[in-house]
Structure 1
Amino acid sequence: MAPPNFESSLTITHIGTATAIIDIDGVKLLTDPFFSPAGTEYDVGVTVLKVSDDPALSLSDLPHIDGVLLSHEDHEDNLDPLGRRILDGRHVLTTKDGAKNLAPRPDVRGLAPWETIKIRLGGKDFTVTGTPCKHVPGQECTGFILTTESFGNCPDGRPNAIWFSGDTVYFDELKQIRDQWHVTAAILNLGFAHAPGEILQLAQPGAKAADAYDGW
């Protein structure tokens, strides 16, 4: 059920892995574009990533995409060669390093943690804030908080918002999201991703995430 004063329509279509279409009043945003078919393999040095399932939608099945929320561009399971085709000629929000690496695309913008910008997508004005991620040490990754006028505020005054977490484990700094916004809907990149042979967790398992975000 939508919270009071939330006057937007919202649908989320999961395509696979961290890829989804967020449809806000007809404005369609794509998260972490990954469209490799089952059987594709990527050698990332420490391991080989193997794709087990086909995406629910192929590139040719996609509706018009107004913008891309890209948590990081340097991992194939968040942006594969097929997904890179989506970036050309579209608004893309990503990390600071990602924006440099994706140059010279003019509509790619990088956000630092807690940096806020205003952007018009599909004829609708949004305020977007980058949220911090704890993923691979020394590499940038970002999440995104989206608000717009039609989302309204919750009764305690916090703006209603949509959050795409990016690849991250839970850590205390993320509590600032709960304090500043009322998260009406969230897309969380979950899973037991870890470095082989090391105790280095790269993403949050579902059960732990349910406990960590309980009460948000």
Structure 2
Amino acid sequence: MQLKGSRKEGKKFINPIPTDEAGFDKMPAILWEYINNKAESIPKKTLGPFNTDAAIYQTPPASGLRITWMGHSSLLIEIDGKRILTDPVWSSRASFVQWAGPKRFFKAPLPLDQLPKLDAIIISHDHYDHFDEATIRVLATKNIPFYTSLGVGSYLKKWGVAHHLITEMDWGDTAQVGTDCTFTTAPTRHFSGRGITNRNETLWSAFVIKGHTHNIFFGADSGWFNGFADIGEAYGPFDLTMLEIGAYGKNWPDIHMGPLSAVNAHLALKGKQMMPIHWGTFNLALHAWHEPIDILLELAAKENLSLFVPEPGKPTEVTGESYTSGWWGKYKS
């Protein structure tokens, strides 16, 4: 089975199914909710600090699969001899300025200059909480190949990444990474844009990452849609699905999943183990900062799901056995 490529209307990419992208018409309702919000959306206790021991990367993971969660959707993935960094955001704020906008709850656990040698960097889409100019400008000096969605390459070139290091991909495209690893882009139900006037002029994607032994799914941002079953049929089963569980809200159900839809997506993808991402790092919604993981644990217990929930910054092997670090517990009010 081959997934269909993206479609456009004029200059704008469109979602795989009709989608309410929480545009300007929703702004009054969303602002009113923010004004009246009582949830602890920002932790009262400072999280961390979390620190990564970079010396660990000198020894390959015995299982062949090890992940370091740097927060939100930034992951250092070691899979079957390859090292891949996803959606790196090292700046203090996910914003177009560093004096305003959503601020990290904890600093990135590993300084950029201490990252091990990387084989690839994945950029799923152009939103500020996934695509950080300051971080990219540093990484651009390191001669690392970038794999990203259609249109995002123009930013990469502007920020210093050499043209020959950029591979733009449409949904269903496959790129060879070295001799025994492939990336395949898959549809998500989301949107793009870094300003008011350029909404949806670049594409948004998930990534299937397949090594010689492991097959994993980096879901990036998406609302629920039946396309997850198509992806699972075409490219599953997956040893690990990395799916967003945070930043959901009643006014934008089509573009972010939340824990319940993430569990349904994991099952549709034929996932063996699920890692929650896109939570516990930025205040991007109205729910309590720890609510997504609390709900996920309840759902996982009911569904008998195998979870993989490492502490931020701690390189942790994926062995297939359920692992929940519980790191957030001591920070809850």
What SS does structure 1 have at the residue aligned with 2:113?
Answer: helix
For 1:1-216, list aligned pairs within 5 A. 9-37=64-92, 40=93, 42=95, 48-72=101-125, 74-84=126-136, 85-88=138-141, 89-103=143-157, 104-120=162-178, 124-136=179-191, 138=200, 139-148=202-211, 150-151=212-213, 161-180=215-234, 181-193=236-248, 198-199=251-252, 201-214=254-267, 216=270
Deviation beyond 4 Å, 4+ runs, structure 1? none
Does the 8 A contact of 1:168 with 1:204 survive in 2? yes
Structure 1 residue 107: deviation in Å? 0.9
- Give how far 1:58 is off: 2.1
Cα distance change of structure 1 residues 43 and 116 upon mapping to structure 2, 3 Å threshold:
closer
Distance 1:65 1:167, change over 3 A: same
**Number of residue pairs matched by the alignment:** 191
| Conserved 8 A contact 1:68-1:87 | no
- Identity over the aligned pairs, expressed in percent? 24
1:43 to 1:128, Cα distance in 2 relative to 1, 3 A: closer
Between structures 1 and 2, the one with greater helix share: 2
For 1:36-86, what per-residue CA distance to the aligned partner results, in whole angstroms no more than 9, with x for missing partners? 23xx36258xx93232221222213322222101101x2221121332022
- Whether the 8 Å CA contact 2:224–2:265 is kept in 1: the answer is yes
In our comparison, the structure showing a higher alpha carbon Rg is 2
TM-score for both structures, normalised by structure 1: 0.77
- 2:12 maps to none
1:117–1:11 Cα change, 3 Å: same
Displacement of 1:199 after TM fit?
Answer: 3.6
Q: Which amino acid aligns with 1:21?
A: L
The CA distance in 1 between the partners of 2:94 and 2:265, in whole Å, is 32
CA change 1:41–1:17 in 2 (3 A) is closer
Deviation at 1:201, TM superposition (A): 4.3
SS at match of 1:211: helix
C-alpha change, 1:71 and 1:51, in structure 2 (3 Å) is same
For residue 50 of structure 1, what is the amino acid of its counterpart? Answer: K
Whichever structure has more strand as a proportion of its residues is 1
Give 2:132's aligned amino acid: D
